Structure 1
């Protein structure tokens, strides 16, 4: 078993990943800013070494990479790297000192969906700062792995779902009012014909994929893998399934984009555009073939678990 350093250890993925690593016998170092607890309690956290580091401050001082390297991890899992400069500072400090480096990317590295289901190795044309930076990190890490042998693996999650936070909803944004509307059986307005797609993934399935990548080091190094549910869903299909889950006949309405946009807050409209412009629908065949990736949760099952949590904790009134 290995000493594993997890950066961003109490977030969406870390909440599920850290306890799994502990139960598998690994020695885990959880690196956080010290401002948040995991979304779910687990006794495994009592066996975790906690280190508080503010990444932004440490990077500004040029110390973050060396601080992580000095923790002595044979495996480093980075959940919260968002710029190429940030990746370079960390990786340069880790070169020659780690056996495996896992970077959490995003399916937004693809930009517009051109072929569906989209495999990992298509030409990428990202847009938007987040997708562009994540694609640049991926290109840098894969080049370093193939040219210099740096042991990098990249996992690209879809829209992350899990207990403790609000999932991307059928209107393509994160306002829980959409779920409340469905729960009442009222009409939920959707853009266009509701045929754009979103692709969720339960955070625990990402955690399992990370562990599968660690266990299959020889085939995962130098590769990128999608971390998503078995199938994407259309906004329409997603909405109709949620209506039925709440015990109602589906009652969505459909509106041309500009008309629908005018019905929303600017924040919700902008979030929806970011998701439906990409309409991700990504393949997991590579992960299934090389790593045995078999996600337990469908998109809908993952969302329904999250919504049940919101209701149980009175964060969503239905």
Structure 2
């Protein structure tokens, strides 16, 4: 049994990971801002120590790393670190005791790729603050591990999906109207012939990978993609979702200026962020070293998400049957 501290414990991944760790016999301390409960309630949470902490404020004060180190963890699972400065503060505080540090990255460390499926060894070419920040953290952690400091493992999820929150739609954005169009047989605008690629993953499959990494010494010093078995194109996802309602999708394949005018700048911007990368990430390393075996396909992860969105009044599908 290990003493495990999970930072960002009530978010997408932590909501599934915490019960897994408790069932595996670990002693778990859950750190979060305390602004919400986990997305999914489970009896295992009654056996977890809950600690409320504002990481951003404590990072600014220089106290967050020492707060984590004072808990004397064997393992730290960091699900909400977004800058190299924040990671460096935590690493510095943990260097004396050297617990295993598991970090949540993103497949967006790759940026637009030249070969697919992309492997973890491809040179990093991130674009945008999020991917650039995560790539800098990955480099910092691997350098620390190679130098004999804090041992670390970096896991790179795709587009995290599941019940409890809005997820990336088959149009590559968060527009709830996409689900409605596919359910009711209305026209769905898509750019680039609908051939942009998305690589979803269910949050519980990400949690599975973190749980496995905790007990795989051979994984230390490496990065791993954590995604569904296959990526899918926008039009493939649209066809799959429409099929749940006994329909074929009615696709309007548009050039970018027309697409922007149809869906609006906000949704079009999110779509461009995703399809400009079109990452299809390989998971052979995670299979081999972690024993990672995703339970959900991309479509299965989206179906669970949509069922929750409909049941909770966030998507209105009128008379369609899901």
Q: Quote the residue 1:276 is aligned against.
A: 275
Does residue 226 of structure 2 align to residue 219 of structure 1?
no
Whole-angstrom CA distance in 2 between matches of 1:44 and 1:240: 38
Q: Which residue of 2 aligns with 1:175?
A: 175
Partner of 1:23: 23
Mapped partners of 1:98, 1:168: distance in 2: 37
TM-score of the pair, normalised by structure 1 = 0.98
What secondary structure sits across from 2:147 in the alignment?
A: helix
Cα distance in 2, alignment partners of residues 127 and 283 from structure 1:
20
Q: What number of residue pairs does the alignment pair up?
A: 317
Counterpart Cα distance in 2 of 1:210 and 1:59: 24
Instruction: Quote the residue 1:196 is aligned against.
Output: 196
Question: 4+ residue stretches of structure 1 with deviation over 3 A?
Answer: none
The answer for the alignment partner of 1:72 in structure 2 is 72
Greater CA deviation, 106-115 or 143-152?
A: 143-152
Q: Does 1:263 align with 2:262?
A: yes
Looking at structure 1, the residues matched to 242 and 252 of structure 2 have their Cα atoms a distance apart, in angstroms, of 13
Whole-Å Cα distance in 2 between the matches of residues 307 and 80 of structure 1? 25
**Does the 8 A contact of 1:163 with 1:306 survive in 2?**
yes
Residue 120 (structure 2) aligns with: 120
Structure 2 Cα separation of the partners of residues 221 and 142 of structure 1: 9
Cα offset, 1:310, TM superposition? 1.3
- Cα offsets for 1:173-230 (capped at 9, x unmatched): 01211101111111111012001100000010011101111121x2111000001000
Identify the residue that residue 12 of structure 1 maps to in structure 2: 12
Instruction: Pick which of 89-98 and 298-307 moved more.
Output: 89-98
Deviation per CA, 1:92-136: give whole Å up to 9, x if none. Answer: 101132431000000000010211000000111111111111001
Residue 41 of structure 1: aligned partner: 41
| 1:314, distance to aligned residue in structure 2 (A) | 2.3
Contact 2:75–2:101, Cα closer than 8 Å, also in 1: yes
Q: 1:197, 1:279 within 8 Å by CA — same for their partners in 2?
A: yes
Mapped to 2, the partners of 1:266 and 1:260 lie a distance apart of 9
* Structure 1 Cα separation of the partners of residues 73 and 206 of structure 2: 20
SS in 2 for 1:247: coil
Q: Could you list the runs of 5+ residues in structure 2 that have no partner in the other structure? A: 318-322
Q: What is the alpha-carbon distance in structure 2 between the residues aligned to residue 109 and residue 101 of structure 1?
A: 19
Residue aligning to 1:157: 157
Answering whether residue 94 of structure 2 is matched by residue 94 of structure 1, we say yes
Distance in 2 (CA, whole Å) between partners of 1:137 and 1:99 is: 17
Corresponding position of 2:241: 242
Give the structure 2 partner of residue 229 of structure 1.
228
